[in-house]
Amino acid sequence: MTAEAPPLPDGPSAEVRFVSPYPEVTRQVADALRWFFAFDEGGSYPAGLKATDLRQRLPLAPSYSPRS
């Protein structure tokens, strides 16, 4: 379980997108990125030819860490 996302600060930002056939791996990667970077609410979407993969989109603020 993750904490509620703080709003992204003004300034540089990035959007990370990745696809995995394993929903658990997608969740773990998203949680790891959330640990190191501030993020805005992203989304998960079906992906792949048969829509069996999961595509994750996470807007991040690389210059700001919630751990600082």
Q: Side-chain half-sphere of 6: how many Cα atoms within 13 Å?
A: 13
Does the pTM surpass 0.85? The reply is no
List, for residues 28-60, the tens digit of each pLDDT value.
888 888 888 777 777 888 888 888 888 888 888
DSSP string, 11-68: S--EEEEEEES-HHHHHHHHHHHHHHSEE---EEEEESTTS-EEEEEEEEETT--TT-
Higher-pLDDT residue of 34, 6: 34
pLDDT of residue 17: 87
